[in-house]
Structure 1
C-alpha cells in the first residue's frame, strides 16, 4: 500500500515508518515544511496552517491509507495545540473522505475521556469528527489510544530512565500514585502494521496497553531494577509545592513540566488490552521487560 504517515520524524512516527516499510508498504513521511531539505519519499505537511481539506487533497493523490501520528504535549506559539490536534487533522480527515482514502489510523491517547486538559479536548474533538465521517460510511478508521508509550527516542521514556538512575528522587505525590499500563513502542507499531494488513476490517477505538497496570512510582522502580540498580530513596513532593512547580513550568514554553503535564501524569492511564492483544497475536511486552526490548 501507499501510505501517508504524518509525524514520521517523531518518536512514534519514526518507529511506525520502519515497521510499515519492513512489512512491504511504500511510506510517504509527512514532515514539517520548515525543514530546509526533504529526503526522498518525504512530503511537507503543515499541521499549523493546513486547516482546510483543499490544502490536503494534493498530498493524498495515489494514497491508499493515512496514519496520523502527529502530537504535541502543550500549546506553543510555534505549534498551537488547537491546530495540531484538532483543526489540521479534521481537515485531513475531510480530505480523505473527499479523495476516497477510506482507511485511517489515528494515534490518539488513553485517559482523555473526562479530562479537561486542552490536550485531551483537542484529541477528542478530532476523534469525534472522525467517528462522524465513519458513521456516514465515508471512512473506515481505527483509533489507537495508547497508555504511556515506552521506547528509545521518546522524551518521556528518556525522562523516566533518567529518574530511574537517581539514587534519591523527588516526585510529586499525585504522579507517584497514578496508575499506568506502559506499552512498548514496537508493539504499538506492530498493531498499526496489522491494521493495514490482516486486520484491515478492524474499525473503532482500540486501547493499546501492556498486560498489567502499576503505579508510576512502581514503574520507575521497575526501570531502576532492570538497569541493575538497588532500590532508590523516593521522596514525595507535597501537593502545594507540586502545583507551584507546575505553574512555574507554565511560564517556560520549552519545559515539558507544566500544569497540563501534571493533570495528565497525575491521572490513571489504564485500559483493557484484549483487542490490542488480538491484533498482536500475543500479549504485549510486560513492563518488567521494556528496557531489554524497547530501549534500543
Structure 2
C-alpha cells in the first residue's frame, strides 16, 4: 500500500516507517517544515497551521492508508497542542474521507479517556472525531485508534529519562509518580501493531488499548531497568508533595521543560490496561518490562 505517516521522523513514527517498509509498503514520510534537507518520499506539512482539509487533499492523492504519529507533551508557541493533537488531525481525517483513503490509524495514548489534562483532552478530541460519523465519506475510512501505555525504546525522551534514573545511586521522585503503575510497550511492538492493522488479515476498528504483559509501579520499573543494566539496588526517596507541586509550577514557567503540572498529573496516575488486545494483535506476547533494555533500548 501507499502509506502516509505523519510525524514520520519522530520516535514512534520512524519505527513505524521502518516496519512498514520491511512489509513492502511504500512509505511517504510527513515532515515538519523545520526539518532540514528533505529526502525523496518526504512530504512537507505543518501541523501547527494545516487545520483546513483543503491543505491535505493534494498530499493524499494516491494514498491508501494514513498513520498519524504526531504528538507533543505540552503546549508551546511553535507547537500549539490544540492544533497538533486535535485541530490538524481532524482536518486530516476529513480530507482522508474526501480523498477515499481506505485506512486510518491514529496513535493516541492510554488513559486519555479518564484524564482532564490538556494533553488528554486534545488527543481525545481527535480520537472521538475519527471514530464518529465523518460527513461526506463515501465510504468512510476504516479507522482504528491505538492507545499505548508508556512507549519505550532508544530515541524516546521518556525512555532516556528512565534510563538516566536507572543509572543513579539515589532516585528521588514525587510519591505519586513512584507509586503509579504502568505497563510499558516496546516501540518495536507498537510498530508491529500498526503493521498488523495495515496487513491483509486485520480489519479491526475502534479503540485498541496497548499495554505490556504486566503492570509495575514506576519505582519498580526504574529498579528493573537498573538491574537489567547490571547495577545493584538504588536508594529510593519520595519528594514531599509540596516540593513536587512547587517544582511542577516552576516547570510551568519554562515552555521547553518536560516537567510541569500536567506531566506531574499524568505520571502520577496509573497507566494500565488489559494486555490481551495487544497480544492478540501481535499474535504473540509483547515484550515484558524486565526485558526492555535488551529488546527495546539496545535495538536500533
Which TM-score applies when normalising by structure 2? 0.97
The CA deviation at 1:45 is: 1.4
The CA deviation at 1:161 is: 0.2
Tell me, yes or no, if the aligned pair for 2:94 and 2:134 is still in contact at 8 Å. Answer: no
Q: 1:199 to 1:175 in 2, by over 3 A?
A: farther
Residue 146 (structure 2) aligns with:
144
Within 5 Å, which residues of 2 pair with 1:161-200?
161-200=163-202
Name stretches of at least 5 consecutive residues in structure 1 with no aligned partner. none
The CA deviation at 1:240 is: 0.7
Residue 291 (structure 1) aligns with:
293
CA distance in 1, matches of 2:18, 2:93: 24
What does the per-residue CA deviation read over 1:173-196, in whole Å, with 9 as the maximum and x for residues that have no partner? 010000100010000000100100
What does the per-residue CA deviation read over 1:42-95, in whole Å, with 9 as the maximum and x for residues that have no partner? 001110100010000000001000000000000000000000000000000000
The CA deviation at 1:35 is: 2.5
Residue 67 (structure 1) aligns with:
67
Out of 129-138 and 8-17, give the one that drifted further. 129-138
Residue 125 (structure 1) aligns with:
125
What does the per-residue CA deviation read over 1:16-40, in whole Å, with 9 as the maximum and x for residues that have no partner? 1111101110000000012342111
CA distance in 2, matches of 1:228, 1:277: 29
Tell me, yes or no, if the aligned pair for 1:134 and 1:141 is still in contact at 8 Å. Answer: no
Residue 279 (structure 2) aligns with:
277
The CA deviation at 1:101 is: 0.3
Within 5 Å, which residues of 2 pair with 1:179-258?
179-258=181-260
Tell me, yes or no, if the aligned pair for 2:196 and 2:282 is still in contact at 8 Å. Answer: yes
Q: Tell me, what secondary structure is at the counterpart of 1:133?
A: coil
Tell me, yes or no, if the aligned pair for 1:133 and 1:139 is still in contact at 8 Å. Answer: no
Residue 47 (structure 2) aligns with:
47
Tell me, yes or no, if the aligned pair for 2:131 and 2:144 is still in contact at 8 Å. Answer: no
CA distance in 1, matches of 2:23, 2:106: 19
Out of 258-267 and 199-208, give the one that drifted further. 199-208
Tell me, yes or no, if the aligned pair for 1:97 and 1:133 is still in contact at 8 Å. Answer: no
Q: Tell me, what secondary structure is at the counterpart of 2:35?
A: coil
CA distance in 1, matches of 2:134, 2:275: 23
The CA deviation at 1:283 is: 1.0
The CA deviation at 1:134 is: 6.3
The CA deviation at 1:132 is: 1.1
What does the per-residue CA deviation read over 1:231-287, in whole Å, with 9 as the maximum and x for residues that have no partner? 000111011100000000111111110111101100110011212111111110010
**Where has structure 1 moved over 4 Å in runs of 4 or more?**
134-137
Name stretches of at least 5 consecutive residues in structure 2 with no aligned partner. none
Q: Tell me, what secondary structure is at the counterpart of 1:229?
A: coil
CA distance in 2, matches of 1:282, 1:267: 28
CA distance in 1, matches of 2:158, 2:201: 30
Residue 263 (structure 1) aligns with:
265
CA distance in 1, matches of 2:95, 2:10: 23
Tell me, yes or no, if the aligned pair for 2:85 and 2:122 is still in contact at 8 Å. Answer: yes
The CA deviation at 1:169 is: 1.3
How many pairs are equivalent? 296
Tell me, yes or no, if the aligned pair for 1:74 and 1:119 is still in contact at 8 Å. Answer: yes
Residue 158 (structure 1) aligns with:
160
